[in-house]
Structure 1
Amino acid sequence: MRVLLTGATGFIGQHLHRALLAEGHDVVACSRQHPGLPCRAFIPCDFAQDLKSDDWLPRLNDVDAVINAVGIIRETGLQRFQSLHTDAPKALFKACAECNISRVIQISALGADEQAETNYHLSKREADDFLAKQPLDWLILRPSLVYGPGSTSSELFAGLAALPLTPLIGDGQQPVQPIHIDDLVKAVLTALTSKSPSRQRIDCVGPRALSFQYWLNGWRKWLGKATAPSMRVPFSLAQSGARVCAPFSRLPVDAESLQMLQRGNAAPVEPFTRAFGFTPQCFEHSIEQRPASPAERQQAGLFFLWQLLRLSLAFMWIWTGLTSAFWYPVSDSYQMLSAVGLSGVALPIALYAAALLDTLLGLALLLNYRLRLVLLTQVAMMLGYSLILSFCLPEFWLHPFGPISKNLPLIVASLMLYVREGDAP
């Protein structure tokens, strides 16, 4: 079967892509970047822009089935719920109807139902409702929390579990019913067969609901750690903090995510079992079968430290720029600039231009704006500062405060963030 897979570079999409290949299907990968896996064809697409059915019609030639696995947990930049979850999928589904595609599978979300309140759930439900009205052989899968290798949310939960105190929202008893990625993929593959259910909305959940506290303790067990003391955070305080921190954070959590957690994320598993003929594995079994590797334990321990490293570097650049512009004696700054060969009008231009650039780079780092470019620019500036001072003021190498030598670990820290950013989803 020739299958068009949207979101082929995402967590769910990558696992689906490998499984489809293993089953002998021809995959037409549709995403912003090449998935890096074999495929019959790669079609660049952007759900933020491909919002008309005409954008999709040429991509559906000779396609037998379509799987839409595009989704984001929080909005960033041009990645908005309305376009990615609603407008582009509706355009795709309309094109599928025009091309008489034999099978359309929509990966939605548990909670995208009549009780939906958040923009995330509402945007998913609108696309689901539109698909349900099309004259297609459709199936809407609504997975709960999906965990497994490569999941950003799994990295978050492992990072939370690695903390010395287990943070809980309220009493920590919110129900969650996570499903392993292998079980979700198995369900999707089954949905491509002629014996699969049709024109249904099926909740994809694990065998039983767990409390959020039990869920985090399970991740600690996976990491090989003993149960830690818990720290309860009132829901209102956690949600307010998430709103304040959202512009500066790249974590897959915001105020809406906490609202969805507070609502609960559970459903009966029996409809899933009847539809696909198997019972999903329980969380306890999955972590016993595959304990965390040393690299995964290290990654969990570093999860929040990466965020602190970025914020501390942003603070350093902003503070340096403001100090140079407003608080450090101008005469002393001019004296240093004179030592490197500047004079006259060049002195204030160099001083305030450098201060402005330092501040802007720090703000860009704080606000997650084009991080790789910003980090490379900062590395280049630190190298340039170090070379100029080494040539013009070599005695600074012997200064007890280390104005040059301190650049070395800062350069390495920036390069580490640069590499980390390249691996980010």
Structure 2
Amino acid sequence: MAMPQAETQKLITVFGGSGFIGRHVVARLAQDGWRIRVACRRPDLAFFLQPLGVPGQIFPVQANLRDPRSLAAALKGASAAVNLVGILAESGKQRFDAIQGKGPGAVAEAVKAAGIDNFVHVSAIGADARATSRYARSKAAGEAAVRSALPDAVILRPSVVFGPGDDFFNRFGAMGRFLPFETVVGGNTKFQPVYVGDVAEAVVCAVSGKARKGATYELGGPEVRSFESLVRYVLAVSDRKRPIVNLSFGMGKFVAAIMQTLDRLSLGLFPKLLRMTTDQVELLKHDNVVSDAAKAEGRTLEGLGIAPTAFESVAPSYLYRFRPTGQYEEQRS
């Protein structure tokens, strides 16, 4: 495929464009000919994105959700904006309320002040102002702030996102390689894994005007599977025979509290692979799937004309490295 010309006049600002989802969104926007300003806290760590387009098409800039001036500067001259900033767990000054609760509102207000009416905000399935999880409440607060500033903004809520470099399948693949057993909390909780490439395509559809203004889309893959069955799938693909310990929510919360304490006492040296928070346990009490209402109203990937990608067709391409002999496993006699 021929690369687009860098001199295109379409300029879009992508907040959080250097993250897992962001790099796929940036690559897909580049294919469509956008000039992309990647706004992030550490632009010096985002230069790896530049080869995804032609010279001059992708350029990182510094922006901080707590600094309105940096947001305004990042949006200068843009005709569209996307917010992808989010965290899975709190750490140091990175708190749910600041990043996911107030942050989207700050971005939306800056977008409004810049006179931009094409804005896409990526949230998450499960966002709920009444949720027991602080993560879910912060996501809902962020959505409400966006709606208050920009009623016509398009909000995308993906289920758990998979793809090379994800924090879901890779995590359990690594646990199967290094640990004698897998631990699951809420094994019956349902997920609808969605491919990162499909999420990126949904973002492009939204900024291109193919999504309904002011709508909230829920993005899920073609299959709904239980948490435990997904972990078993990872073990099967990586050829690791490990027992699965399915903890109750009460026991899971107790173990998570211990893990959080050890993480704090270790001053950041506690293995990331073993980190688990009590808030994540709260999240696992609820299924993470596309709602019936979203399906009925066409607020899904299919409603955007996107055929969801099955995780079985992608995950083996990066889970092979967790096999005992890596990519050569199938060549053994």
Fold equivalence (TM over 0.5): yes
Matched ranges for 1:338-349 at <5 A: none
Q: Which residue of 2 aligns with 1:328?
A: none
Give 3-state SS (helix, strand or coil) of 2:315's partner. helix
One-letter code aligned to 1:117? T
Q: Which residue of 2 aligns with 1:32?
A: 41
Superposed displacement of residue 168, structure 1 = 2.7
Matched, 1:235 2:249: yes
Superposed displacement of residue 202, structure 1 = 1.2
Q: Which residue of 2 aligns with 1:292?
A: 319
Matched, 1:99 2:114: yes
- TM-score, normalising length from structure 2? 0.80
Superposed displacement of residue 75, structure 1 = 0.6
Q: Which residue of 1 aligns with 2:30?
A: 21
Q: Number of aligned residue pairs: give it.
A: 293
Q: Which residue of 2 aligns with 1:173?
A: 188
Counterpart Cα distance in 1 of 2:135 and 2:61: 26
| 1:197/1:275 contact within 8 Å kept | no
Q: Give the gaps of 5 or more residues in structure 1.
A: 301-425
Amino-acid identity (%): 25
Counterpart Cα distance in 2 of 1:150 and 1:216: 17
Matched ranges for 1:271-350 at <5 A: 271-287=299-315, 290=317, 292-294=319-321, 296-297=322-323
| 1:146/1:178 contact within 8 Å kept | yes
Counterpart Cα distance in 1 of 2:239 and 2:206: 36
Q: Which residue of 1 aligns with 2:6?
A: none
Q: Which residue of 2 aligns with 1:253?
A: 276
One-letter code aligned to 1:260? L
Corresponding residue to 2:64 among 27, 46, 49:
46
Q: Which residue of 2 aligns with 1:130?
A: 145
Q: Which residue of 2 aligns with 1:185?
A: 200
One-letter code aligned to 1:42? P
One-letter code aligned to 1:126? A
Give 3-state SS (helix, strand or coil) of 1:263's partner. coil
- TM-score, normalising length from structure 1? 0.64
Superposed displacement of residue 224, structure 1 = 3.4
More helix per residue: 1 or 2? 1
Corresponding residue to 1:4 among 13, 25, 29:
13
CA 79–105 in structure 1, closer or farther in 2 if over 3 Å, else same:
same
Counterpart Cα distance in 1 of 2:84 and 2:325: 26
Q: Which moved more, 1:24-33 or 1:160-169?
A: 160-169
| 2:163/2:314 contact within 8 Å kept | no
Counterpart Cα distance in 2 of 1:150 and 1:278: 22
Q: Which residue of 1 aligns with 2:213?
A: 198
CA 42–229 in structure 1, closer or farther in 2 if over 3 Å, else same:
closer
Counterpart Cα distance in 1 of 2:16 and 2:244: 37
| 1:161/1:217 contact within 8 Å kept | no
Superposed displacement of residue 291, structure 1 = 5.7
Superposed displacement of residue 274, structure 1 = 4.3
Superposed displacement of residue 114, structure 1 = 4.8
Superposed displacement of residue 18, structure 1 = 1.8
CA RMSD of aligned residues (A): 2.4
Tell me which structure has the larger Cα radius of gyration: 1
Counterpart Cα distance in 2 of 1:298 and 1:190: 41
Give 3-state SS (helix, strand or coil) of 1:202's partner. strand
| 1:147/1:178 contact within 8 Å kept | yes
Superposed displacement of residue 275, structure 1 = 2.6
Counterpart Cα distance in 1 of 2:169 and 2:318: 14
One-letter code aligned to 1:46? N
Counterpart Cα distance in 1 of 2:235 and 2:134: 31
Q: Which residue of 1 aligns with 2:267?
A: none
Counterpart Cα distance in 2 of 1:260 and 1:192: 30
